[in-house]
Amino acid sequence: MHHVAATASSQTLVKPLRPAYARYLREEVFPRLRPLSDSEYLNGPAGILNTLARFSYVIDGDRIFWCVEWRPGLLAIDLTPGGMRWAARRSPDPEFGGRRAASSELQRYDAWQRAWQSEHREQPPQYGLIFDAWDDTVAQSFSAWQAASEAQHRIFRDAVDALNTLTATLLHSPRSCERYMEMCRHSFFWNMQWNDFD
């Protein structure tokens, strides 16, 4: 399992996922995946690309996962053309996204943070899945990355091209963009609550 990114010169690069992050995806996210239709994608998650949300891409075999820092914490979308799926996990931080947390929730979170830091050198999975790749991509600093194989490049490009084709007809003018974003803001994906997920 690898992070995957495209450089400014359109080269596809990969970086191995930390074992704790790969394990988190396999054990905590993948079992929760549910189908996502093209229309559901267009009416909600596609609009996230027009926001300041941080995200990364992960390649696992022949599938591409889009991992987004999004309320309630992490939104993961399997972008495989013709078979998209999604899952969400709430953040371990009970105040994520501006939520007001009870003192007992904050105490549990503090204890969880201390336990994680005593056992691991890396950041917790929801953070690391995004920012291990995001920081490098923003800085265009890829010293820890390597060229993707031909298969990895093709899988990544096929997923990105399919999404570009799917969204190509959406935004023709600033006015249509405003209408589209307003529709997205009313979708389920833009109104998920921390208490709705585990």
Confidence of residue 195 (pLDDT cuts 50, 70, 90): confident
163-172 LR contacts (CB < 8 Å, sep 24+): 163/46, 163/79, 166/38, 166/41, 166/42, 166/46, 167/42, 167/46, 170/42, 170/46
For residue range 75-86, what is the model confidence (pLDDT) as tens digits? Answer: 999 998 778 999
Is the pLDDT at 154 greater than 90, yes or no?
yes
Q: According to the model, what pLDDT value does residue 150 have?
A: 95
* Helix (DSSP H) and strand (DSSP E) numbers for the chain: 6, 8
Query: Can you tell me which residue has the tokens 């690069």?
Result: 13
Interatomic CA distance for residues 9 and 84, integer angstroms: 28
pLDDT at residue number 156:
94
Average pLDDT, stretch 7-11?
Answer: 84
Placement of tokens 């890396």 in the chain:
122
Q: 28 falls in which pLDDT band (50, 70, 90)?
A: very high
The predicted structure's pLDDT at residue 86: 96
pTM above 0.75, yes or no: yes
With a cut of 90, say whether residue 25 has pLDDT above it: yes
Q: Examine the pLDDT at 168 and tell me if it is beyond 90.
A: no
CA distance 33 to 28: 10
pLDDT tens digit sequence for 103-135: 999 999 899 889 988 888 889 999 999 999 999
- Per-residue confidence band for 170, with pLDDT thresholds at 50, 70 and 90: low
Q: Which residue has the higher pLDDT, 172 or 123?
A: 123
- Is residue 155 within 8 Å of residue 62, measured between CB atoms? yes
Q: What percent of the chain has pLDDT over 90?
A: 53
**CA dist., res. 133 & res. 3, Å (int):** 7
Residues in the chain, overall count? 198
